[in-house]
């Protein structure tokens, strides 16, 4: 009875939020209970039934503002998930496409990462994969319809009921409230909410806690655990003071805004590979919304991490799509302070690299190709990007996903008689310094002759601007969208430095390094890559440049 009342209340809240015109919150992480849900793949519809009748396909207008919940689910059924943003799978930044056919039927089973439907747009007919395994409750369109955001409702089996996160606006309000309440303390007090709990509440739904613990769901507890947040300090906005996912994400927002970098390192380590990555039996490179091989920052000296990363990279080279959810999505849309200015760093131990280049530049293997410092910079960047893959990312056109690339296609800004060009070298992670020197030469010659091919200037994942090549020492680089970050290196200067004894002045080769993040719009700043991660990347790059022997240790 209590569970039924809770279900009805959740549905009412959801319908109320829909009626208020607020967008449906992003779906939660997919911890698919494959064992609990015996899903079988629907056989493709036969030709006659799948296609519209011959001749004209009636082009219907899109269904206005779909209302997902038309019937209340039975007590033992899992939560309904609405599949939105299917067009993101097309990779074209589309807002709408035409539905050609369904691969599933209402009442039938959808299987995660198996075909759900086929859409047609422009020149391509493309299968769209289901993000969930479960029962298809409602198909919101018919073949021939122009589809946009909402596609289908799927009832997922055996999942946590707590999925109604408040919309973004409410999350920001909660964040403001949390910030207001925190004062000088690091965390916002939450004692007022706990007093709302009824001592006799059994919390028998799912794994809800009883009276003297926070009323929330396992998903929220996991987030709290991963981010080392005491749940009792989070103000709950749900019924009976329940802490919703939106509450904890807004709390993380508030913490992040209050102290950049304090939680960023932890969050960077907990990047949603666990939240969004597929289960282990996923088909390789099957869907465009998740990958089978999670990316994790490499810990230097960790053999297991290195082996796992190598195996993952060998299996799948397609980018990892990291949907921007909760706090990260709020990061995209919120004004922040720390990411507004480029990050400046410097390397002051360049002597080893200077000496190394001096010894190598006359090697016959170069066959006349000039060996500059840039191949070393590129190789160091590729290794550092392997440790901090979030920096090697692109923002999706609709700004809802971060495409975290496994390949390092590094752009090199070149000033040519025809203007600035930023061609990129593909797969720097797999190239030797010698090969990079040769490829740089090819691109420079092509750029000078205005003969860069389309593939040379597309597909870049991170760029390096060498202001030093034209004599500059400092630079404030502009990010090359849709990449999220850029690095600029100045010229190497010979400057006096104090030796280790603090008294002796010695000459040292110094190079200035600056990094910048993608700016989404004139009024907003994007911090999908937080400053701490960028700073860590810069440190890693510097580490390889100052100790070029480390390149040998870590190069594949």
Q: Which is nearer to another protein, 38 or 43 (CB)?
A: 43
List 55, 200, 496, 522, residue binding another protein (CB under 8 A): 55
User: 48: how many CB neighbours lie within 10 A of its CB?
Assistant: 8
Question: Binding of another protein at residue 115 (CB under 8 A)?
Answer: yes
Spatial distance between the Cα atoms of 406 and 386, rounded to a whole number of angstroms: 8
Question: Binding of another protein at residue 364 (CB under 8 A)?
Answer: no
Give min distance, CB of 354 to another protein, in A: 31
Residue 49's contacts (CB-CB under 8 Å, 6 or more residues apart) are none
Spatial distance between the Cα atoms of 177 and 191, rounded to a whole number of angstroms: 14
**What's the burial of 426, exposed, middle or buried (CB within 10 Å: 0-12/13-18/19+)?**
middle
Nearest to 541 by CA among 425, 335, 379: 379
Q: Which stretch binds another protein (CB under 8 A): 91-99, 259-267, 394-402, 488-496?
A: 91-99
List 32, 100, 412, 428, residue binding another protein (CB under 8 A): 100
Question: Binding of another protein at residue 96 (CB under 8 A)?
Answer: no
Question: Binding of another protein at residue 287 (CB under 8 A)?
Answer: yes
Give min distance, CB of 512 to another protein, in A: 31
Per CB under 8 A, which of residues 459..488 are in contact with another protein?
Answer: 459
Nearest to 460 by CA among 423, 432, 431: 423
Question: Binding of another protein at residue 8 (CB under 8 A)?
Answer: no
For the chain, the farthest-separated pair of C-alpha atoms sits apart, in whole angstroms, at 88
Spatial distance between the Cα atoms of 88 and 391, rounded to a whole number of angstroms: 21
Cα 209 to chain centroid distance, Å, stands at 32
Q: Which is nearer to another protein, 123 or 359 (CB)?
A: 123
Question: Binding of another protein at residue 393 (CB under 8 A)?
Answer: no
The answer to whether 58 and 180 have CB atoms below 8 angstroms apart is no
**What's the burial of 501, exposed, middle or buried (CB within 10 Å: 0-12/13-18/19+)?**
exposed
Q: Which residues pair with 128 in a beta bridge?
A: 117
Residue 217's contacts (CB-CB under 8 Å, 6 or more residues apart) are 160, 161, 162, 206, 207, 208, 245
Question: Binding of another protein at residue 285 (CB under 8 A)?
Answer: yes
The answer to whether 462 and 381 have CB atoms below 8 angstroms apart is yes
**What's the burial of 182, exposed, middle or buried (CB within 10 Å: 0-12/13-18/19+)?**
middle
Give min distance, CB of 381 to another protein, in A: 18
Q: 334 in helix, strand or coil?
A: coil
Q: Which stretch binds another protein (CB under 8 A): 277-285, 373-381, 481-489, 497-505?
A: 277-285
List 1, 47, 75, 184, residue binding another protein (CB under 8 A): 47
Give min distance, CB of 164 to another protein, in A: 31
Q: Which is nearer to another protein, 282 or 517 (CB)?
A: 282
Question: Binding of another protein at residue 245 (CB under 8 A)?
Answer: no
Question: Binding of another protein at residue 269 (CB under 8 A)?
Answer: no
Question: Binding of another protein at residue 281 (CB under 8 A)?
Answer: no
Q: Which is nearer to another protein, 113 or 327 (CB)?
A: 113
The answer to whether 438 and 405 have CB atoms below 8 angstroms apart is no
Q: Which is nearer to another protein, 43 or 470 (CB)?
A: 43
Residue 180's contacts (CB-CB under 8 Å, 6 or more residues apart) are none
Question: Binding of another protein at residue 279 (CB under 8 A)?
Answer: no
Question: Binding of another protein at residue 46 (CB under 8 A)?
Answer: yes
List 45, 201, 400, 435, residue binding another protein (CB under 8 A): 45
List 18, 126, 201, 444, residue binding another protein (CB under 8 A): 126
The answer to whether 179 and 142 have CB atoms below 8 angstroms apart is no
**What's the burial of 153, exposed, middle or buried (CB within 10 Å: 0-12/13-18/19+)?**
buried
Spatial distance between the Cα atoms of 345 and 151, rounded to a whole number of angstroms: 47
Give min distance, CB of 289 to another protein, in A: 12
Question: Binding of another protein at residue 427 (CB under 8 A)?
Answer: yes
Question: Binding of another protein at residue 317 (CB under 8 A)?
Answer: yes
List 20, 21, 40, 59, residue binding another protein (CB under 8 A): 59
Question: Binding of another protein at residue 127 (CB under 8 A)?
Answer: yes
Q: Which stretch binds another protein (CB under 8 A): 8-16, 112-120, 215-223, 507-515?
A: 112-120
Binding mask 224-243 for another protein (x = CB under 8 A): --------------------
Spatial distance between the Cα atoms of 298 and 128, rounded to a whole number of angstroms: 32
Binding site for another protein (CB under 8 A): 43-47, 50-51, 54-57, 59, 90-92, 98, 100-101, 113-115, 120-127, 129, 144, 283-288, 316-319, 407, 426-427, 442, 446, 453-456, 458-459
């Amino acid at each position: 009875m209590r569970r039924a009342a809770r279900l009805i209340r959740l549905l009412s809240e959801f319908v109320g939020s829909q009626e208020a015109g607020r967008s449906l919150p992003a779906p939660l992480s997919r911890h698919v209970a494959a064992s609990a849900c015996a899903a079988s793949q629907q056989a493709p519809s036969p030709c006659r039934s799948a296609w519209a009748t011959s001749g004209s396909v009636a082009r219907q207008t899109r269904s206005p503002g779909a209302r997902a919940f038309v019937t209340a689910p039975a007590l033992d059924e899992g939560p309904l998930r609405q599949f939105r943003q299917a067009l993101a799978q097309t990779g074209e930044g589309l807002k709408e496409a035409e539905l050609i056919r369904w691969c599933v039927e209402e009442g039938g089973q959808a299987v995660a990462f198996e075909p759900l439907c086929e859409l047609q747009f422009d020149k391509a007919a493309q299968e769209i994969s289901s993000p969930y395994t479960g029962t298809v409750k409602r198909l919101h369109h018919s073949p021939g319809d122009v589809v946009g955001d909402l596609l289908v409702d799927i009832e997922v089996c055996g999942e946590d009921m707590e999925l109604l996160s408040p919309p973004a606006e409410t999350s920001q309000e909660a964040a403001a409230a949390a910030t207001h309440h925190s004062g000088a303390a690091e965390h916002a007090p939450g004692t007022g909410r706990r007093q709302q709990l009824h001592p006799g509440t059994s919390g028998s739904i799912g794994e809800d806690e009883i009276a003297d613990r926070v009323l929330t769901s396992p998903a929220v507890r996991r987030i709290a655990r991963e981010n080392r947040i005491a749940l009792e300090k989070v103000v709950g906005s749900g019924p009976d003071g329940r802490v919703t996912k939106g509450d904890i994400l807004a709390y993380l927002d508030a913490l992040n805004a209050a102290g950049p970098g304090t939680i960023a390192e932890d969050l960077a380590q907990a990047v949603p590979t666990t939240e969004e990555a597929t289960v282990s039996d996923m088909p390789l490179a099957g869907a465009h919304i998740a990958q089978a091989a999670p990316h994790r920052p490499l810990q230097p000296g960790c053999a297991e991490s290195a082996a796992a990363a190598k195996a993952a990279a060998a299996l799948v080279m397609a980018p990892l799509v990291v949907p921007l959810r909760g706090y990260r999505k709020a990061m995209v849309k919120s004004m922040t302070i720390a990411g507004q200015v480029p990050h400046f760093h410097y390397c002051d131990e360049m002597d080893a690299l200077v000496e190394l280049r001096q010894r190598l530049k006359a090697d016959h293997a170069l066959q006349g190709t000039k060996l500059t410092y840039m191949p070393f910079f590129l190789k160091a960047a590729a290794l550092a990007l392997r440790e901090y893959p979030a920096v090697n990312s692109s923002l999706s056109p609709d700004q809802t996903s971060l495409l975290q690339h496994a390949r390092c296609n590094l752009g090199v800004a070149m000033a040519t008689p025809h203007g600035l060009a930023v061609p990129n070298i593909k797969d720097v992670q797999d190239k030797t310094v010698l090969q990079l020197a040769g490829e740089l030469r090819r691109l420079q010659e092509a750029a000078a002759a205005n003969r860069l091919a389309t593939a040379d200037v597309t597909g870049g994942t991170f760029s390096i601007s060498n202001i030093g090549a034209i004599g500059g020492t400092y630079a404030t680089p502009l990010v090359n969208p849709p990449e999220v970050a850029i690095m600029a290196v100045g010229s190497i200067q010979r400057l006096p430095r104090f030796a280790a004894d603090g008294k002796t002045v010695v000459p040292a080769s110094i190079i200035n390094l600056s990094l910048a993040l993608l700016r989404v719009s004139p009024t907003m700043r994007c911090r999908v890559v937080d400053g701490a991660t960028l700073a860590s990347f810069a440190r890693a790059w510097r580490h390889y440049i100052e100790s070029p022997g480390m390149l040998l240790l870590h190069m594949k």
